[in-house]
Amino acid sequence: MPGIVFASWNRNKYLEMSSLLAPAGVELLFGPDLSGAGEVPEVDEDRDTYAGNAVTKALAWSSALGRPALADDSGLEVSFLNWGPGVMSARVAPDDAARVQWLLGKMEGISERRARFVAALALFFPERGIWLLAEGFCYGSISVEPSGGHGFGYDPLFVPNGYNETLAVLGPTVKSRISHRSVAARALCRMLTGGCVVE
């Protein structure tokens, strides 16, 4: 499956997804590196579901570049915050460090710290008009302080169930097995290798 555009400006996500999809033989291309990437319109992630946002992004990049496109949308859902911030996870603050501090402020003195990461992947093949959608979850809790130097986003605060350290401490080997994005990617790999998109 050569030449699939990763519809994102986030290189960390691109590197992670490239590794996760390699078993299915996917050649993932970083969208911003491609000629014509400047023609991609600003995508308003205004849907109320991860899948809706992922579909919107994949369609925009595919239409602009004329290639199959894969997009992801993901977020953190916290029990105490009525399972927010959800689809707004990236928009509560301008950067990762500020988002971590925002969440710590919301959770100060709170004992109910259950949380989950959610990811949706949308892959569009324009010539055949085929969509593939996959979703993944990772359950855990929010730590009382950030730790670890791996990963990105809320990883320094998220302790997966069955572990005593955050994803940012556990590192990429563990994350590639248990993260929400890896669960969704494995589901997508099964679709691709199971004959879902053959002529």
Q: Are 55 and 121 in contact (CB under 8 A)?
A: no
Q: What is the pLDDT of residue 197?
A: 43
Q: What is the pLDDT of residue 194?
A: 79
The answer to whether residue 28 sits within a structural domain is yes
Q: How many domains does the chain have?
A: 1
Distance separating alpha carbons of residues 199 and 186, to the nearest angstrom: 22
Measured over the CA atoms of residue 23, residue 186, residue 155 and residue 73, the dihedral's sign is: positive
The answer to whether residue 199 sits within a structural domain is no
Task: Please report, for the domain that includes residue 104, its CATH number.
Answer: 3.90.950.10
Which pTM was predicted? 0.89
Which residues form the domain of 19? 4-193
Distance separating alpha carbons of residues 151 and 178, to the nearest angstrom: 13
The answer to whether residue 144 sits within a structural domain is yes
Residue 33: active-site member: no
The answer to whether residue 183 sits within a structural domain is yes
The answer to whether residue 198 sits within a structural domain is no
The catalytic position among 33, 73, 96, 155 is 73
39: its two tokens: 């023609």
Q: What is the pLDDT of residue 1?
A: 52
The two beta strands, 69-78 and 84-85, are antiparallel
Closest CA to 130 of 59, 194, 183, 179: 59
> Mean pLDDT, 10 residues at a time, over the chain (199 residues)?
84 90 90 81 86 95 93 97 96 96 97 98 94 97 97 95 98 94 94 61
